[in-house]
Amino acid sequence: MSPHHSLRHFKKGISLTTQWTGKEHKEMEKVFLGLTANATDPRVLRAVRGLLDFTYYAHFRVHSDESLSLMDTAWSNFHANKEIFETLGIREHFNISKITKLKHYTDSIRSRGVTGSFNTEHTERLHIDFAKSSYRASNHKDYIPEMIKWLERQEAVRKFASYLEWAVPGYEAEFTALESATSDLSLNSPEANSTSDDTDDIDTLDVDDIQSHRLSKKPAFRNIPITQLSQDYHAPDLLFRVNDFFRDNSIPLLRELTSTSPLDVYKLASLTLPAIPEISSTPVLDKFRAVKGEHRKETPNGLKPAKAPCFDTVLIHIGEGPVDSITTLRAARLRLIFRVPDTHDSTSTPLAYVEWYTPFTRFSTDLGMFEISPSTRHHRRHSQVVKLSHVIRSCHLIPVFGAKQVRATWVSEYVLDQASNFYLNPYLRHHDFFLLRYRPDLEHFRKQEQLRRARIRKLGRAGRFTDNI
């Protein structure tokens, strides 16, 4: 599986995992449909896709009648194809209470609100207070009566502390402070700060007031000749593409760029994906890397192992349309993040050298994914230099697996170079699902509704029954 910074890689596979948690299940959901492509019956793919779509729609924080209709459609797709598992002998039946409950999710959301209000994680804090903390306070032998007594005393002290807060002006109860500390702790969790190391000492570059790209204050490498960069970063046409960029954008150069001209290189860039009410109330930090590989070498501390290169895949905005539409985006492989020094370019615009993939024209109806492949021109990779601000987000490409496609030489670090066809993964993050699955499905749903209403206007009440003909 191709790597991504937000994707967990199971180095030993999943067959040896004996105890699964919610986190492992969520990580597997991101790639499960892509793994089964071309390896099983199409009805299996449609069933898996329906269940995954239903799960992601169920995570929405805000719903509309349209999103709930799409959620019902996803459930119907799973229900219509799930019998294939019985046909293949994988299951004897689907008389499972949890699956039966899924049918009632949309009705429950309409009557009681989104599923986030009933998340079982909300009770985890109560489990800590009522079970773990009280057990630690006992003698670990006859612990149940002691736990009950401890909880009763804690409740009595909490009530009295609340009374003192009401009766004594300025008094702050100790329990209130503990609760606030607990809430602060959640903000300082490893998950909340998982990207802090990557964003230290960074400048902010405004991008049309829509997104914010960030680069480190100092480049990782300064004044590296273009010839060396072409070799280290597998960018053979770097010099030509840089000159093409300045010529096409009518940007005058102070000095002509040659093969020995230096460039300042960055390893990492990041941007903030805007908050989307349906999936998140806070912005999400995204990053994309372009890091050259390193050979194994001797050091005073011993042998330093070789390090594989890391060239992430990204979505780039093309044309003049909106940035949140798949029709104005194209996938590319990020090879180099750089600036032209002030001695050559007075604007010092951050640039990116990318290798394009084919446009989003091939679509798998069973998977609901776009299939792309590396774009070539004259038997060479189609490359271009673009403004870094045109990079909208990172993306994840799943190699097209199957009995005839997979080779024993494929490895995760180099599979983007080894495979020839890929699926654009809509399940990587909820932001990707919103862009690559929800928005296209919503547009298709609205078109179908317009056609249905047009038939009703034309045929009258009889038009309501033409959908089943």
Domain extents in the chain: 123-187, 202-425
pLDDT at 466: 58
The mean pLDDT value of the chain amounts to 83
pLDDT at 332: 95
What is the distance, to the nearest Å, from the Cα of residue 58 to the centroid of all Cα atoms in its chain?
17
**325 strand-pairing partners:** none
pLDDT at 211: 57
More confident residue, 402 or 467: 402
Q: Are 396 and 372 in contact (CB under 8 A)?
A: no
pLDDT digits (tens, 9 = 90+) for 268-295: 999 988 888 898 878 889 999 999 988 8
Angle at 25 between CA 326 and CA 394, to 5 degrees: 30
Q: Residue 147: is its pLDDT beyond 50?
A: yes
pLDDT digits (tens, 9 = 90+) for 31-89: 889 888 888 889 999 999 999 999 999 999 999 999 999 999 999 999 999 899 888 88
Q: Kindly provide the b/e burial profile for residues 32-70, where b requires at least 16 CB atoms within 10 angstroms of the residue's own CB.
A: bbbebbbeeeebbbbbbbbbbbbbbbbbbeebeeebbeb
Task: Please state the rounded mean pLDDT for residues 394-419.
Answer: 84
pLDDT at 403: 65
Distances (CA, A) of 145 to 49, 132, 151, 152, 216: 50, 14, 10, 11, 58
pLDDT digits (tens, 9 = 90+) for 337-363: 999 988 787 778 899 999 999 999 999
Q: Residue 331: is its pLDDT beyond 50?
A: yes
Phi, psi of 354 (to 5 degrees): -130, 155
pLDDT at 311: 93
How many Cβ atoms sit within 10 Å of the Cβ of residue 261? Answer: 20
Q: Residue 222: is its pLDDT beyond 50?
A: yes
Q: For residue 423, with 0-12 CB atoms within 10 Å meaning exposed, 13-18 middle and 19 or more buried, which class applies?
A: buried
Length of the chain: 469
pLDDT digits (tens, 9 = 90+) for 156-191: 988 998 888 888 888 877 654 333 333 333 333 333
The CA distance from 372 to 421, in Å, is: 6
pLDDT digits (tens, 9 = 90+) for 426-438: 999 999 999 999 9
pLDDT digits (tens, 9 = 90+) for 74-113: 999 999 998 998 888 888 888 888 888 888 888 988 888 8
Share of the chain above pLDDT 70, in %: 88
Residue 468: pLDDT band by 50, 70, 90 thresholds? low
The CA distance from 349 to 359, in Å, is: 26
pLDDT at 188: 37
* Of 276, 242, 278, residue with least CA distance to 259: 242
**pTM to 2 decimals?**
0.78
Task: Please state the rounded mean pLDDT for residues 369-391.
Answer: 93
Share of the chain above pLDDT 90, in %: 38
**65 strand-pairing partners:** none
Which residue bears the tokens 């005058």?
252
Instruction: Fill in the DSSP letter of residue 219.
Output: -
Half-sphere exposure of 420 (CA within 13 A, CB side): 6
